[in-house]
Every structure is written in C-alpha cells, then in structure tokens.
Amino acid sequence: GIDLESMGGGGRSLTGWRHMYSGKVREVYESETDADALLVVASNRVSAFDHILEPEIPGKGELLTTLSRWWFDQLDVPNHIREPEGWDAELPAEVAARSMRVAKLEMFPVECVVRGYLTGSGLKEYEATGTVCGVDLPEGLGDGDRLPEPIFTPAYKAPQGEHDENITFERVVELVGEEPAAALRDLSLHIFNLASERAATRGVILADTKFEFGVDPATGQITLADEVLTSDSSRYWDADLYSNAELPLSERLSSFDKQIVRNWLRENWDGEGTPPALPQETIERTVARYRELLERLAA
Ligand code: ATP
Ligand code: MG
C-alpha cells in the first residue's frame, strides 16, 4: 500500500487493513477481506491531562496488549478476539505484538466502570453529593477507602474530543434498554470480582476499572471488547504499600499506570500550551512499572 509514514501519516499503512479511526492511544483498522473483522493496534503513545505526550514510550503498546490478552484468557465471558491461524502473517512483527484481531461489534455507548475503592473522580463526586453515579455510599469515606462492595458506576461514552459523563443506572436503561443494562452491570461486576480475587493472590489491589461491551452480530451475544484490565483502563495498587499505615497516602495509593508521567508533568509544566518532552529517565521508569504489573499478575 501507500507508505503513509513517509507522507507524515504516522505509519498507519498495513497490508490487508484499511485505517478507520485514531484514538488517543490506539489505531483501529477495518479488514479489506473480512467485513466482520477489525484490527486494534495499541500505539506507544501516552496521554495525560488530555494531551498526547512526546516522545512515545517504547514497549508500552506491546506490554498493554500482552496484559489485555492474558486477562481475556483468564475470564469466563465471551470476548471479541478472533484470531484464526496465521492472522498476523502479513503484519510486521513489531505491529503484531501490539495488535488484536477482533470481531466488529455493535458497541454500547457506555463505559462500564466498576469501583471497589473510592478515589479519583468517584471520590470527587462522593464529596460533592454523597453518591457516585446515583449509588448511595456510607458517610465518612475518604481517599483510597475500600467500598462495602464493588459498585457499577457507568459513564456515557462521549463522541471523540468530549469528556465522558458519569451517568446513573437508570440512564443506562434509557440508553440501551432494561435487559442489556442489567447484563452490562452484572457482567461488569462479575469480571471485576474475578479479576480482583486473582490480582489479590499476587499482592495487587484492583481499585477500579473500565470495560466496554458490544453485541456480536454473528452470535447476538453481549461480548467483552476493547482492552481489558490494563493499566490504561484500570487503577492497580500494591497491596503491601496500601496496607502500610506508616506511609503517606500518595505512596500507599501509587498505581501501576502513567502516574510517574503525571507527577513529572505536574512538577515541570504549568499546564499552558504544549507539554514539555518527557525525559528519558521518566520514560524508562514508566516502562519498568508497566512491565512490573505484567510480571506480578501473569508470571
Ligand atoms: P480515547 O482517545 O478517549 O481513548 P477512544 O476510546 O475512542 O478515545 P481508543 O480507545 O484508542 O480511542 O480506540 C479504540 C476504539 O475502538 C474505541 O472507540 C472502542 O470503543 C472501539 N472498539 C474496541 N473494540 C471494538 C470492537 N470489537 N468492535 C468495535 N469497536 C471496538
Ligand atoms: Mg478508549
């Protein structure tokens, strides 16, 4: 095909695949031969505070794809991976390692967030209203506190460029219908419980995560899509640090994601204009953190 890289298109040309969509972090392609198939390629891009940062983080796309694939294998729900023998024969190995061949689903416009602990945007909403996405919570909870039980706190998946918006379960019912809404909630809680138990055996806390589901037109089944339980879609904490009351909260809740990047930006950027390029050392520590999570969970 045409070499888009040399045309400044970001290296998007892949034999057998037609580029369809660029997210902040992933590229989505349609198959030129199979109308039911998509290729989702995780880039090495890292985004923080709604900016895509420079330079890329070598290894990130592969590490997150490997983790996502591993989780799909652990879970007992239908997922979107469709990888017949030889599916990646035409792909450069470096791209294949960051790619998943998936069924093209009719996606629900809902981000299925589950929280086992209160922090981040959930904490903010709780402090303002005492609830998260319409779920009543006990009084007196603080940052990092474990919830009495995991809660389903969905968000409306806003069109590209807009912020996702937290919604109540009733709103999910309006958007997708009663039965699908209940299925999305029950599946999300089921997967969260399974994954948290699994992570706990490795000394890792799954604090919260986001799932996306769609319907497979071939089977009519609600199917788990997107990436799953990666450090881009989830907040993982180290259980030993979490339970060490001597440590400051920021260390107890230090997560396995791009927090190193966010911290560096906070200290080195006033938030105006284009963020400065990340130093090599920050990049290396970030990759090491992604790798550590994969090794802790999947080794
Ligand atoms: P953002 O840049 O905010 O992350 P985004 O979520 O649209 O936006 P990506 O996550 O990079 O960007 O892109 C992946 C896209 O592919 C998402 O829109 C996701 O909903 C969609 N997707 C994932 N799996 C499937 C599938 N099996 N069928 C159809 N669409 C899918
Ligand atoms: Mg996304």
Mutation probe of ligand 1 site: the residue of 19, 107, 231 with most atoms within 8 A of C-beta? 107
pLDDT in tens, 148-184: 999 999 999 988 777 889 999 999 999 999 999 999 9
Sites in the chain below the pLDDT cut of 70: 1-11
Cα of first residue to Cα of last residue in the chain, in angstroms, is 39
Question: What is the model's pLDDT at position 162?
Answer: 79
- If we measure between CA atoms, which residue out of 233, 236, 288 comes closest to residue 260? 288
Contact indicator for 224, 187 with CB cutoff of 8 Å: yes
Q: Which atom of ligand 1 lies nearest, measured to the CA of 103?
A: 27
Q: How far is the CA of 211 from the centre of ligand 2 (A)?
A: 10
- Identify the residue whose C-alpha is closest to ligand 1 atom 13: 23
What is the distance between the alpha carbons of residues 232 and 114, in angstroms, rounded to a whole number? 14
The residues facing 299 across adjacent strands are: none
Q: Which ligand is nearest to the CA of 160?
A: 1
Six-digit token string for 5: 């890289």
Judged by DSSP in three states, 169 sits in helix
Q: How far is the CA of 25 from the centre of ligand 1 (A)?
A: 9
The alpha-carbon radius of gyration of the chain (Å, integer) is 19
Edge-to-edge strand order for the sheet containing 106-107? 106-107, 213-215, 222-224
23 lines ligand 1 (CB under 6 A): yes
37 lines ligand 1 (CB under 6 A): no
For strands 110-117 and 135-136, give the pairing: unpaired
- If we measure between CA atoms, which residue out of 188, 184, 163, 159 comes closest to residue 173? 184
Question: What is the model's pLDDT at position 164?
Answer: 85
Q: Check if the interface score ipTM surpasses 0.85.
A: yes
Per the prediction, the chain carries an average pLDDT of 94
Contact indicator for 268, 276 with CB cutoff of 8 Å: yes
Mutation probe of ligand 1 site: the residue of 226, 228, 231, 232 with most atoms within 8 A of C-beta? 226
Judged by DSSP in three states, 112 sits in strand
- If we measure between CA atoms, which residue out of 160, 116, 122 comes closest to residue 20? 160
Q: How far is the CA of 157 from the centre of ligand 2 (A)?
A: 9
Contact indicator for 79, 228 with CB cutoff of 8 Å: yes
- Identify the residue whose C-alpha is closest to ligand 1 atom 20: 226
207 lines ligand 1 (CB under 6 A): no
Question: What is the model's pLDDT at position 9?
Answer: 38
pLDDT in tens, 74-101: 999 999 999 999 999 999 999 999 999 9
Six-digit token string for 35: 């109308």
Neighbours of 166 (CB within 10 A): 19
Question: What is the model's pLDDT at position 11?
Answer: 58
Q: What are phi and psi of 247, to 5 degrees?
A: -85, 150
> pTM of the entire structure?
0.94
Q: How far is the CA of 239 from the centre of ligand 1 (A)?
A: 30
What is the distance between the alpha carbons of residues 297 and 299, in angstroms, rounded to a whole number? 6
- If we measure between CA atoms, which residue out of 15, 54, 12, 6 comes closest to residue 33? 15
